Amino acid sequence: MARVTKKANQEALKAQDDFYSIARSALTTKKDLPSIIEFAESAHFLGRKLYPRQQTLLKLINLETELMTDYDLEVIDEWTKGMGKEGTSIGISPDVWKRVDWLKANGYKHFKEVVNITGRRGGKGHIGGIQGAYLNWQLIMLDDPQEHYGIDKSKDIYIFCVATNIQQAKQFQFADLANTMIDAPCFKPYIEVAKEYFVALRTPADIRRIATFEARGMRPQRLIASIRNMAVTSNSKSSRGATAYSVMFDEFAHMLVGTSGPRTSDEVYNAITPALDQFGKDGFIYIPTSPFTKVGKCYQLYEAGLMSDENDNPMFPNMLVCQLPSWGPYEDWDNPRATGGFNFKGAPQLYNEEMIKLEQREPDVFKVERLSQWAEVTDAYLNPKMVDRMFEPFKDASGEMRILHEQFQGKMAFMYRGHCDPSKSNANTAAMICHVETIPDETGEEWHHVIMDWGKVWKPEDYPDHQVDYEEIEEELVDVLDKFRTTKVFSYDQYGGFVTLPRMKKRLRELKPPHKAIVKEEGFQKASNEKRAERFKSALGMNWVHAYEDNFGDGGSCLLSNELKFLQEVNGRVRKQDTGPVQTKDFADCLMVCVDQLLEDNFMRLELREKLGQGQLQSGAQGGYHTGRVNQAQLTNRQKLQQMSRRNTDYGAMTRNRGGR
């Protein structure tokens, strides 16, 4: 027991000696900051060998033009010529030298924002890990970064790695950053905490503060390690309000789009980036991502980083766009002039025979994931702004502004229409109930508007065996329809309707009193799908569709909004995405069916207007239409208007007699 106590005391004394040794070194004068390449490759710092073009990119990001070789300049020249052309874009912002000159003239030490659109396995995270470690080292070399930037000494400084979920946040960009520092000899004296989602460093000023506490016989109750590297999710509140030196958005192009939820790329970017304000020109935003759809914040930033004004000067000179294929950062790996004689064993990605075969087999996927090109086929079928407008307050027939909420009881004054899209047992099942209300437009003409009343999505992951329970869904639907007594039609997708259709009819008849809803199968053939989608698109554009925001999406976001925004048109078909954050459209299909059926009269009126606009108006007479043509020149404008009015009146009476669908 005595030996154990003696050994423990010896270890404690050694730890104390090490601590005071570090504390004494913290009192020494500030060391010079190495160049980014020396920092990355030197055994005293990170000890990580870089490929030639990785070196070029890091020098460019950090404005180290005086250290660039002829090879670097040739590569940058090649990159600038590859951007902005028709077809495939490969390279960097074409006006990069104007950007560099502006940044240097305005006191920047690196680009403020780097959008790195590189193909899969192209080393985006590796570059981010080295650059992030360099930022950490810069803070340490300031000795007391809080004093340098005028920040309260009790404030911690954060470097955030943001991703859609915590698993992705920990495994990819943050892991590259954390491992780079943990394995580096230079960071060993400063790392206080190293976890899979959190790495905390002590600055020399932190060490002096601890020494001061120790001298007073005080033991701090909080962690004193003021440089905090943290993996956070896109809806994490921990990043809001923090003092951030850098933010890295992992696979930002694949985050949800729009402004309808906390996880959307717009909301995440707008919420976190103000945290960098206190660091002014030294703050850094890094966006390593493979491309995806041309909708959302990432593509907006990509475009902004390439924009020029009327004088051909960059609109946002503190931004750098880099767009390279998967093998782009590794080119010249076997060129002795580029490598300085270093013999690399190979490159992680090569455009070789295997890659060529992959391109031939799946050209569209290859174009996006390997060539790093924004996919034209994944352009949104619907305008995201129109989708967002669907959830906004609207003026109803009384002239009052109305905000929609989920309804749990129908009203006898309305006729309801419902639809259920039962997918396979290992996929989502969705259902929705809507009704129409007549609302006049600005000219006083009345149109039907679809109001979403109730909706539900059942997900496999919500069940123990990861298979939706159709009996449970049927029971819930019967209960809901019992509360919406004036539901006229409730339909099922033809590919899933057979599962519950016969039993649903029987159960509704058994209600007291029996429910009179017509339960039927809804056809989803190619022609009807196209017509339904185009009609919905038209109704959305006319602002005839109004819905409340659900919370069935990832992280409580609005699934209906997400599904509508991620619809794509491929070879004339409107379909869901096969990759990315939203790969379902069941809820969107429910809304489209309800809109198509409830607004049948609206669409027929529009079609009639179009036909009347294309042909000559025929004069009417008592008892019906003349069979012969009438010379339109003989009609006055007043007569023509009266003629059209009679036709619209006759058509309205006809459709009212039909009773709708």
Same domain assignment for residues 354 and 282: yes
Residue 253 CA neighbour count, 13 Å, CB half: 27
Show the tokens assigned to 549: 């925001």
Show the tokens assigned to 277: 């304000």
| 339 lies in some domain | yes
**What is the mean pLDDT of the segment spanning 445-466?**
92
Distances in Å between the Cα of 58 and the Cα atoms of 35, 62, 132, 273 are 10, 6, 11, 22
How many residues are recorded in the chain? 661
pLDDT of residue 242: 81
Same domain assignment for residues 409 and 293: no
Domain count, the chain: 3
Residue-wise pLDDT tens digits, 165-211: 667 767 788 999 999 999 999 999 999 999 988 999 999 999 998 88
**3-state SS, residue 574:** strand
Same domain assignment for residues 575 and 635: no
> What distance, in Å, lies between the first and last C-alpha atoms of the chain?
89
Q: Is the pLDDT confidence value at 238 over 70?
A: no
Same domain assignment for residues 348 and 409: no
For helices 52-61 and 124-141, what crossing angle results, to 10°? 50
CA gyration radius, the chain:
32
Task: Please tell me the distance from the alpha carbon of residue 599 to that of residue 533, in angstroms, as a whole number.
Answer: 13
| 614 lies in some domain | no
pLDDT of residue 178: 94
Tell me which residue has tokens 């989602």. Answer: 197
The whole-model pTM stands at 0.62
Same domain assignment for residues 315 and 415: no
What letter does residue 380 receive in the DSSP assignment?
B
Same domain assignment for residues 460 and 408: yes
What letter does residue 516 receive in the DSSP assignment?
-
Q: Work out the pLDDT band at 580, boundaries 50, 70, 90.
A: low
Same domain assignment for residues 203 and 300: yes
Task: Please tell me the distance from the alpha carbon of residue 288 to that of residue 116, in angstroms, as a whole number.
Answer: 5
656: containing domain: 631-661
Torsion angle in degrees (nearest 10) through CA of 388, 389, 390, 396: 160
**What is the mean pLDDT of the segment spanning 48-71?**
97
Report yes or no: 248 and 172 within 8 Å, Cβ to Cβ: no
Q: Work out the pLDDT band at 614, boundaries 50, 70, 90.
A: low
Q: What's the CATH code of the domain at 535?
A: 3.30.420.240
| 594 lies in some domain | yes
Task: Please tell me the distance from the alpha carbon of residue 277 to that of residue 297, in angstroms, as a whole number.
Answer: 20
**What is the mean pLDDT of the segment spanning 239-259?**
76
Considering only residues 540 and 378, tell me which one the structure prediction assigns the higher pLDDT.
540
Same domain assignment for residues 637 and 570: no
**What is the mean pLDDT of the segment spanning 44-56?**
96
Q: Work out the pLDDT band at 461, boundaries 50, 70, 90.
A: confident
- Indicate the residue among 342, 369, 396 that finishes a domain: 369
- Indicate the residue among 369, 396, 418 that finishes a domain: 369
Same domain assignment for residues 259 and 344: yes
Report yes or no: 453 and 424 within 8 Å, Cβ to Cβ: no
- Indicate the residue among 307, 336, 369 that finishes a domain: 369
Tell me which residue has tokens 């580029």. Answer: 338
Average of per-residue pLDDT values in the chain: 83
Same domain assignment for residues 437 and 319: no
Same domain assignment for residues 148 and 285: yes
Q: Work out the pLDDT band at 499, boundaries 50, 70, 90.
A: low
Tell me which residue has tokens 């590189």. Answer: 118
Show the tokens assigned to 600: 């049948």
| 8 lies in some domain | no
pLDDT of residue 201: 96
| 403 lies in some domain | yes
Residue-wise pLDDT tens digits, 101-144: 999 999 999 999 999 999 988 999 999 999 999 999 999 999 99
Show the tokens assigned to 358: 């992959």
Assign residue 528 a region: left if phi > 0, alpha if psi is -120 to 50, beta otherwise?
alpha
Q: What's the CATH code of the domain at 168?
A: 3.40.50.300
pLDDT of residue 264: 63
- In this structure, the number of other CB atoms found within 10 A of the CB of residue 139 comes to 24
Report yes or no: 244 and 158 within 8 Å, Cβ to Cβ: yes
Q: Is the pLDDT confidence value at 318 over 50?
A: yes
pLDDT of residue 236: 52
**What is the mean pLDDT of the segment spanning 386-412?**
94
| 229 lies in some domain | yes
Show the tokens assigned to 7: 């050994």
Considering only residues 522 and 333, tell me which one the structure prediction assigns the higher pLDDT.
333
Cis ω on the peptide bond leading into residue 513 (within 30° of 0)? yes
Which amino acid is it at 440? P
Same domain assignment for residues 354 and 488: no
- In this structure, the number of other CB atoms found within 10 A of the CB of residue 96 comes to 22
User: Among 109-118, 238-247, 616-625, 632-641, where is mean pLDDT lowest?
Assistant: 616-625
Task: Collect all residues with Cβ–Cβ distance below 8 Å to 500 and sequence separation of at least 6.
Answer: 420, 422, 470, 473, 474, 477, 492
**What is the mean pLDDT of the segment spanning 451-458?**
97
Residue-wise pLDDT tens digits, 252-262: 877 765 544 44
**What is the mean pLDDT of the segment spanning 72-86?**
86
**Percent of the residues in the chain that have a pLDDT greater than 70, as a whole number:** 80
Show the tokens assigned to 302: 């990509």
| 428 lies in some domain | yes
Q: Work out the pLDDT band at 235, boundaries 50, 70, 90.
A: low
| 461 lies in some domain | yes
Q: Work out the pLDDT band at 651, boundaries 50, 70, 90.
A: very low
